[in-house]
Structure 1
Amino acid sequence: MQFGGVKQFSKLKDFLPTLNSIFSKARYFGIAGYGFTLSFCWTFILFLMLLAFEACSIWKLIRLLAGWATNLSGGRGIVARVSGSMFYGNALLSLILSSKFVHSWESLSSFWLSTETSEALTFAPDVRIRKRAIFVTSLVATFAFVEHMLSMMSATGFDCPPEEYFERYILSSHGFVLQAHEYNLWVAIPIFILSKLATALWNFQDLIIILISMGLTSRYHRLNLYVHHVVRIEKRYRYTQKVGTELYLRIQKWRRLREAYVRHATLVRMVDRKLGALVLLSNINNLYFICLQLFLGMHKDKGSAINRGYYFLSLGWLLFRACSVVLAAADVHLHSQRALKALYSCPSAAYNVEIKRLQYQLTHDYVALSGMGFFSLRRELLLEVAAAIIKYELVLIQYDS
């Protein structure tokens, strides 16, 4: 997969080439870029499989709600069927939205590159962001793999004979859609593959948000460092009278710096328009499954050691990933206003109209990633969501008692 305008930037070992490589590898679990290629065919096949499975899950849920289902044991209750429908519904939407975002990445990366190369101001690249992006990607992949392997162990236990492992795993983990008398190897194999791909899609949608937020924050961080550098110079020469050409050059530097903030705010809004639906899906899905895990933890027996270990690891990983999404995206808004402190400390002798405009711009121009405009990702959102979850659990405890 090639993205126009980014090859020339790869020598800097910066954010864009690293993200291009990650998006290229995502085609193995269904995230295609653009054009009618082999990866697009695989995406289309996966889409049809997820659509059929989600339709089957919803039909089983409707049968239960209508009172047509009789066997409600073995993970076939309403909680299991709603959760299964949510899980595969998220995978279906994630496949569509992630592919749509990767498809739009060509134009986004070109504009991103232009903000880095078309400015008169020279910023050194963030050489550490490549390592951070690779570390975050490796961390998400490793923990997602470990968590999923533990879920498979929890579903079957250690006393399962090898020849019965596959059947027990499918009937235990997908009892909401498949009963024992309906089990067939040719049905179980596609379900097994879909469950792995759906897990990968769930983790990848959060990874996209985290990585994009890291890149946007890095750019703001470099701009803010430049502001601090210029302010230090202004303080150093605050008693030196500047007239004529020197004064003009100082004002022009501040003007170019202000325009750099304008261009980056434009980039953030462009990314927000393309990423907003995925942000909304990620936060809704994570919130639902956090509440579900807490609910199940309150109403389940102690179980075996592997079940208890899986529960705490799964809940911890889900909380960590959900918090990482919010905190990484919230850093974009936080860093968009961080230069104000340096600007307010600028000596009055160096104050000019461009500094005044930049202060006004950073104060009143609200820049943040959002979930399609329904909410902005700020650090305060974590406390609001935590309060909502606690209220939800207290209500459940009250009704349960």
Structure 2
Amino acid sequence: MKVYSLSSRSPDQPCHFHGCLRHALRFARWLGFFPVQGLGEPRPEGIRFRIKSLYSIYVVATLLGQVMMSYFSVLLFFQTEVTLSTISNIIFYVTGLISAILLLKLAQQWPLLMTKAVETERGLTELSLDNKVVVRSSVLAYLVMALAMVEHILCTSFNIKFVMYCLQEAGVTTNVMENYVVHRMPYIFNYIPYSFFNAVFFEYLCLQSTFLWSFNDVLITCFSIYITAYFKTLNAVIATNAKKDKDTIPWSILRVHYSNLVKLVKEIDDNISSLILLSLFTDLFYICLQLFNSLHRNHVSFKYCDETQTNQALSSPFYLLYYLYSFVFLVLRALMLSLFASNVHCAALEPVYSVYDVPSSVYDNEVRRFQLQLHYTEVGLSGKFFYVTRNMILKVVGTIITYEIVLLQYSVTPNSYYNVSTTVATVVDNVTNLYGKT
């Protein structure tokens, strides 16, 4: 494995790329998804990706565990009726497995990407990034992951209380932990026997998948903060330069700075565009799923609870607290990802207004070339097939609203294990009646 060295970088020159991303990536390494050495150091000289390391062994074990979780969720899907519960399990674990593979690929490319970022920063001689950007990125990473842990604790606490309540009502004195784990993960314990080791092992794998669900949004947001900060700094220099009758900084240098930032954005986007697509898809799916469950009070039933007892549990204040927190956190996290990622596109377009206001006394071929470059260059983070822009966000919000309006038009009987095939047939019949088509 080729190892890229950063020893050529000046020791007194900080690397903001490393500073903005290292705290978020340390979370991934702790949970077994990013086997890169040197993330704990304030400077990037020790960044290495090595196959023969304890981190890599940890990642391989994690990938095998995620493959196992995905396999069991798919197996349950094909051996039972099609329900929203089985579909959501597949999406949760399969997207988690894909995320783990994409993070491993990113880790392999990380030393090279770090080297290119260092070279770009070193070439931006007229720009100086505020260290507050690094602090802001690090605080956001710690804050969002702490909130994600709170959400996971609330979810676990509610399910334990739900199982304990049902056992008490049924007069059953069997082990609470066993019933909780079997209730939470039927896709596992329908096929393997319960044991304490299996319970702890698969609960940890579930925690890893839950971590990835939030981490992808945090990672993309940290990338966006870093890129946007550099563009905003360049935009301020360009705006100041355009207001003067005499060039303070040659326009050729500013144009080269812009070009270097564009190249860095494209390099970063090549490495994370698949993660962006995956994150936007999972966020959209789970927002729609949460809204659907809120309209139909849908929850996976427990064998010791009848429908009345399940509805009583869903009416409890603790469930309301968990559900509201989970839904608000999911929406805010999705908005955070979308808005910060779209800021890259907006910040990259902003110099065009200043360049077109350049006084005629300093207007030359370099300014003209800069205008053409700004006009014909599309810059931004993408989800493989589209750029993340504010117009795209509005379309997604419109899609969610349309989805909910359609759901509100149909009266569906609540079912603890909602059958998708029945829903589709009901919707088709109603649409046929609505439009008078046969």
Indicate whether the TM-score tops 0.5: yes
CA contact (8 A) 1:129 1:218 kept: yes
Alignment of 1:231-380 (within 5 A): 231-234=242-245, 250=247, 253-300=250-297, 301=311, 302-372=314-384, 374-380=385-391
Q: What's the counterpart of residue 68 of structure 1?
A: none
Q: What's the counterpart of residue 142 of structure 1?
A: 146
Following the alignment from structure 1 to structure 2, what is the Cα–Cα distance between the partners of residues 174 and 253?
A: 63
- Name the SS for the 2:244 alignment partner: helix
Following the alignment from structure 1 to structure 2, what is the Cα–Cα distance between the partners of residues 398 and 362?
A: 47
Deviations 1:169-226 (A, max 9, x none): 3133223443599433232121111111111122111111111111111111111111
CA contact (8 A) 1:29 1:201 kept: no
Amino acid at match of 2:275: L
Which residue of 194, 199, 223 maps to 1:212? 223
- Name the SS for the 1:400 alignment partner: coil
Following the alignment from structure 1 to structure 2, what is the Cα–Cα distance between the partners of residues 173 and 329?
A: 34
Following the alignment from structure 1 to structure 2, what is the Cα–Cα distance between the partners of residues 22 and 307?
A: 30
TM-score (norm 2): 0.79
Moved more, 47-56 or 302-311: 302-311
In the TM superposition, what is the alpha-carbon distance from 1:163 to its structure 2 partner?
8.9
Q: What's the counterpart of residue 65 of structure 2?
A: 49
Structure with the higher fraction of residues in helix conformation: 1
In the TM superposition, what is the alpha-carbon distance from 1:304 to its structure 2 partner?
1.1
In the TM superposition, what is the alpha-carbon distance from 1:155 to its structure 2 partner?
0.8
Moved more, 51-60 or 19-28: 19-28
Following the alignment from structure 2 to structure 1, what is the Cα–Cα distance between the partners of residues 10 and 317?
A: 53
How many corresponding residue pairs? 373
Moved more, 10-19 or 103-112: 10-19
In the TM superposition, what is the alpha-carbon distance from 1:8 to its structure 2 partner?
4.1
Could you say if the C-alpha distance between residues 10 and 279 of structure 1 is closer, same or farther in structure 2, counting changes exceeding 3 Å?
farther
- Name the SS for the 1:263 alignment partner: helix
CA contact (8 A) 1:217 1:331 kept: yes
CA contact (8 A) 2:15 2:118 kept: no
Does residue 400 in structure 1 map to residue 404 in structure 2?
no
Could you say if the C-alpha distance between residues 82 and 229 of structure 1 is closer, same or farther in structure 2, counting changes exceeding 3 Å?
same
- Name the SS for the 1:46 alignment partner: helix
Could you say if the C-alpha distance between residues 44 and 180 of structure 1 is closer, same or farther in structure 2, counting changes exceeding 3 Å?
closer
- Name the SS for the 1:270 alignment partner: helix
Does residue 16 in structure 1 map to residue 13 in structure 2?
no
CA contact (8 A) 1:60 1:176 kept: yes
Q: For structure 1, which runs of at least 5 residues remain unmatched after alignment?
A: 66-76, 238-249
Q: What's the counterpart of residue 27 of structure 1?
A: 29
CA contact (8 A) 1:151 1:310 kept: yes
Amino acid at match of 1:271: I
Q: What's the counterpart of residue 62 of structure 1?
A: 78
Could you say if the C-alpha distance between residues 350 and 181 of structure 1 is closer, same or farther in structure 2, counting changes exceeding 3 Å?
closer
TM-score (norm 1): 0.86
Does residue 38 in structure 1 map to residue 38 in structure 2?
no
In the TM superposition, what is the alpha-carbon distance from 1:10 to its structure 2 partner?
7.2
Amino acid at match of 1:145: M
CA contact (8 A) 1:251 1:354 kept: no
Share of identical aligned residues, percent?
27
Q: For structure 2, which runs of at least 5 residues remain unmatched after alignment?
A: 37-48, 298-310, 413-438
Amino acid at match of 1:230: N
Q: What's the counterpart of residue 5 of structure 2?
A: 4
Alignment of 1:81-92 (within 5 A): 81-92=86-97
Q: What's the counterpart of residue 97 of structure 1?
A: 102
Amino acid at match of 2:158: S
Could you say if the C-alpha distance between residues 380 and 10 of structure 1 is closer, same or farther in structure 2, counting changes exceeding 3 Å?
farther
Deviations 1:302-331 (A, max 9, x none): 521111111111111111111111111111
Alignment of 1:130-169 (within 5 A): 130-157=134-161, 164-169=175-180
